[in-house]
Amino acid sequence: MPSRKQRPSRQLNPQAETDDSAEEVYQQSYATALRLLARREHSELELRHKLAARKFTDAVINAVLVGLLDEGLLSNRRFTEIYVRGRFERGYGPARIQAGLRERGIDGDLMEQALAELSQLWIDSAARQRNKRFGCRVPDEYRARVKQMRFLQQRGFTGEQIRAVFDSA
């Protein structure tokens, strides 16, 4: 009968097991973060919340985020640019986009830079959204006009941009 190979016995060192376990948890959290980033860009805050929801500790999350930032795999600047461009293309105005970025933990400087790149296009975007929803004709009736203005305001356009749309039409 062939003899079974036995594994070499490992000395039980509680510190070694803790180190292995900590490294394993770090690798799991890092892999989770990479999977999330492979789907779409995330802000640091979003990724922190998603990792915390998966029950990783704050220390592990901090270590993973620092590693991802150092490697250039996580970038608030890149996230902000993609987020702003995507929301602009969906017809949202600057106020609505700013609110979304604040929710995701983006600071004011990054936000202002990204929105400034589109500053010349907001009025055209508001006009496109109004025309898409209500047609090209500007209403003479006060109630219909207010309804259209309210729609644009809910999309995140400023009062100045909304007035410019109605003045130019």
The answer to whether the Cα torsion of 161, 163, 164, 169 is positive or negative is: positive
Residue 38 burial (CB < 10 Å; 0-12/13-18/19+)?
exposed
pLDDT tens string 17-48: 456 688 899 999 999 999 999 999 999 999 99
Q: Token pair of 81, please?
A: 């640019």
Give the predicted TM-score (pTM) of the model: 0.81
CATH topology of domain 122-168: Arc Repressor Mutant, subunit A (1.10.10)
The predicted structure's pLDDT at residue 13:
39
What distance in Å separates the CA atoms of residue 16 and residue 35, rounded to the nearest whole number? 29
The answer to whether the Cα torsion of 38, 39, 42, 45 is positive or negative is: negative
CATH topology of domain 77-116: Arc Repressor Mutant, subunit A (1.10.10)
pLDDT tens string 97-141: 999 999 999 988 999 999 999 989 999 999 999 999 999 888 889
CATH tag, 16-74: 1.10.10.10
Question: Residue 68 is inside which H or E element, if any?
Answer: helix 58-71
